[in-house]
Amino acid sequence: MEPSYIFLTMAVTLLSMPATGFGQGTTRVGFYSKTCPRAESIVKSTVESHFRSNPAIAPGLLRMHFHDCFVNGCDGSVLIDGPNTERKAVQNSLLRGFDVIDKAKAKLEAACPGVVSCADILALAARDSVVLTKGINWKVPTGRRDGKVSLQSDAAKLPGFTDSIESQKQQFARFGLNTQDLVTLVGGHTIGTAACLVFNYRLNNFTNGGPDPTINPSFLPQLRSLCPQNGNNFQRVDLDTGSANKFDTSFFTNLKNGRGVLESDQKLWTDASTRTFVQQFLGEKGVRKLNFGKEFAKSMVKMSNIGVKTGSNSEIRRVCSAIN
């Protein structure tokens, strides 16, 4: 990957002009430049402070932004607490970083009350998390408003760890995201961990009582030692073995070598329609090389504009965990 903390100046329409989401509203870079000029720096300093004491907060915030956007758009609805909300769904039970968003929101309310949305805080925090793990920097279009609806049942729309590539492509296509966006955004698993409970079925009883044949035989003992049968299902394992705290392309190298932890991740290599993009990110001979950092930034901008809310179906929440 290119040197750490690259600043991406992208002369593309997505960032140089207002970005139109796969929904109702629009966002633009510098939305708070007059109404709350310190907005981005406040979010950044808050994320940095928490990251210093707990680096696991970075992948947690990135994942939370993804889970927010893929359920009724990027509207901060995953942050709302209460019975039967998205936050209570099993798919969101292991999300981390709510306290970071709450702390940033409290600071922003003190600096410029009622101005910065929780949805924008989450989008900014996701970008800052990538930078802190030595990934690329990019300009985040802002101007999202917060949704007023959060239903536990809606979390069923999230992609699952057993999904086929065809199913994943269909789910991404619903939001205007193509196959390259799918591979790129799943590449965010270069940082972070997964609980044993979401992949231990691959280790022993996948087919005819044996392991998933797509797992490299030399990798299997390592996974079994980390997640033994009848062990702690909540034990966390690196998704990018050997480089879990650095935003780089080694995640794709691991997929090529049969060392993907999640079934849905490993399928990016075993399925021909997605393998080409993995090869491009790895710069393999015979394929057009793609810069993972730059492509990740572009795909994140596209994703972060899914279902942007406006008007009476939205608000600027004063507390991210509760509807005003």
Active site residues: 67
41 belongs to an annotated ligand binding site: no
State how beta strands 19-20 and 236-238 pair.
unpaired
190 belongs to an annotated ligand binding site: yes
- How far CA 135 is from CA of 32, 127, 128, 175, in Å, comes to 24, 9, 9, 25
65 vs 60: CA distance, rounded Å? 9
248 belongs to an annotated ligand binding site: yes
Place of tokens 């210093």: 52
SS3 content of the chain, % helix, strand, coil (to 5): 45, 5, 45
128 belongs to an annotated ligand binding site: no
75 vs 108: CA distance, rounded Å? 18
Contact between 204 and 229 under an 8 Å Cβ cutoff? The reply is yes
**Residue 134 CB contacts under 8 Å (≥ 6 apart), including other chains:** 4, 5, 246, 247, 248
In angstroms and rounded to an integer, the radius of gyration of the C-alpha atoms of the chain is 19
**Residue 42 CB contacts under 8 Å (≥ 6 apart), including other chains:** 104, 107, 108, 111
Element (H, E) at 105: helix 98-111
Alpha helices by DSSP H, listed for 174-288, are: 179-186, 201-204, 220-226, 250-256, 263-270, 272-282
265 belongs to an annotated ligand binding site: no
62 vs 125: CA distance, rounded Å? 8
77 belongs to an annotated ligand binding site: yes
Q: Is 149 helix (H, G, I), strand (E, B) or coil?
A: coil
186 belongs to an annotated ligand binding site: no
159 belongs to an annotated ligand binding site: yes
68 belongs to an annotated ligand binding site: yes
Which residues fall in the annotated binding site for heme b? 189
Which residues fall in the annotated binding site for Ca(2+)? 68, 71, 73, 75, 77, 86, 190, 240, 248
Which residues fall in the annotated binding site? 68, 71, 73, 75, 77, 86, 159, 189-190, 240, 248
Which residues fall in the annotated binding site for substrate? 159
